[in-house]
Amino acid sequence: MALLGRVNLRRSRTSSWNAYFCYLFPPFAVMSLIVIILSLRPDILFLKSHNNTTNITKVFQLPARSPKPSPQRCNDNASHCSIPTKAEEASPYHNWQIFKADYEEMLQKFKIFVYPDVFINNKSSPFALVFRPHPNPLDPKIGNYFSEHAFKLALLHSSFVTQHPEEAHFFFLPFSINVMRNHPLLRSESSISDFVANYVSRVSSEFEFWNASGGGVDHFFVCCHSVGRDAASKHYALHNNAIQITCSSTYFQRLYTPHKDIALPQVWPRPHDILLNPPNARNKLVFFAGRVQNSRIRKELLSLWGNDTSLSIFSGNPSFPYEEGFRTSKYCLHVKGYEVNTARISDAIHYGCIPVLISDHYDLPFGNILDWSTFSIIVSHRDIGLLKYILTSVSEQMYMKLYKNLCIVRKHFRWHDVPTSYDAFHMTAYQLWLRRGFHRLATYQLN
């Protein structure tokens, strides 16, 4: 509880008036768009009733499973990056023993039902793509939105998927916000939220599982796209009851509810087999490069520190390769942009650079399991003037502790298409596991 309290301190004290206002007056264009979509696509109305168990492998036509998980060739066992063996050594977990025991129970018992592709009867439907796993999640265009696709792929390859909805703890609504965003018939935020609302209405009228929990309490969806934050806005129970697993997890946003919804790490796909630069090969103190538009705090950072040559802080691209900044710096800044999240945190973790988080109200991924203060430095927006002082005050001994803990948590921020233990998939699934265990209002029986 103390741990949750710590996270709660980050909760914003200022409620967003403008957010509530929008919430009370949803645009009435919704109705006409639904009518237009339905008249264009009458097949949306016909959903295969789930009276039968469906073979998910067939439904989603999964890409061929790699024979075994790709070997982890990063030097996590190198001397400067070894896992502490003594209990008294710093650990990045709030309570490793409790987490480990519960995690292992999850591996034995957790069951998730994936709704079948609603277009299963019509493979030529232009919307089928929205529900299928992405054929190439490593497509460079996906970049920032990779986590959404990586989660789905890992889930479909995991042992949690059940063909028997009656034994499921959770139900996955497999639509992809990222695919919708690039879909010629959807694209706009408004048509995406109409499509999602329409889809969920169909699920709730055609399948008995939605109503059984009082309206989607045991249902979830995933997104890592800023557009996703409004995707659920036009379906009341979807955004109030269902669990949103999202990269844009902030205490300062109307459609994200901490402790119901789940923070997903935003991860840029990078090759796993890199060698970490040890701390003594990191000659830059701190690195940041990024666009400053749309971000008051980045502008402030640049105006305060942009001219200090002992810091590598750039507006736009640096004069050297971006990755080089992460490899050769002791600290790497993550500074709030348009959203609280960017891939910089997982990039920093990937390259062994201690993340410095300047992003108030961010509900950090896995914050109830990982003690972020043991492997990152959190700086409040108002302390940005003290940045250099804060970083130069960290003793060498303290830095080595941060670095060791960072090495330990690296595995939690990696995706694999066949999930491996304690990877980003299993950590995210564990967040769902913690949210199970409510009473179903009704039971359902399958033949």
Binding site for ligand NAG (CB under 6 A): 43, 49, 51-52, 55, 57-58, 75, 77, 122, 124-126, 204-205, 207-208, 211, 303, 307, 447
Longest dimension (CA), the chain: 71
Q: For residue 369, which of 97, 7, 99, 88 has the smallest C-alpha distance?
A: 99
| Integer Cα distance of 329 and 321 in angstroms | 13
Q: How far is the CB of 225 from ligand NAG (least distance, A)?
A: 25
Nearer to ligand NAG, 8 or 77 (CB): 77
| Integer Cα distance of 402 and 242 in angstroms | 36
Q: Across 137-283, where does the E strand assignment appear?
A: 170-172, 219-223, 243-246, 262-263
Q: How far is the CB of 163 from ligand NAG (least distance, A)?
A: 6
Q: How far is the CB of 122 from ligand NAG (least distance, A)?
A: 4
Q: How far is the CB of 243 from ligand NAG (least distance, A)?
A: 19
The amino acid at residue 273 is D
Which H helix or E strand runs over 174?
Answer: none
Q: Across 362-411, where does the E strand assignment appear?
A: 377-378
Nearer to ligand NAG, 156 or 264 (CB): 156
Nearer to ligand NAG, 61 or 294 (CB): 61
Q: How far is the CB of 323 from ligand NAG (least distance, A)?
A: 22
Nearer to ligand NAG, 43 or 324 (CB): 43
| Integer Cα distance of 191 and 29 in angstroms | 10
Nearer to ligand NAG, 161 or 247 (CB): 161
C-alpha distances (whole Å) from 206 to each of 50, 59, 198, 280 are 7, 18, 12, 61
Nearer to ligand NAG, 18 or 307 (CB): 307
| Integer Cα distance of 161 and 180 in angstroms | 24
Phi, psi of 83 (to 5 degrees): -80, 130
Q: How far is the CB of 111 from ligand NAG (least distance, A)?
A: 14
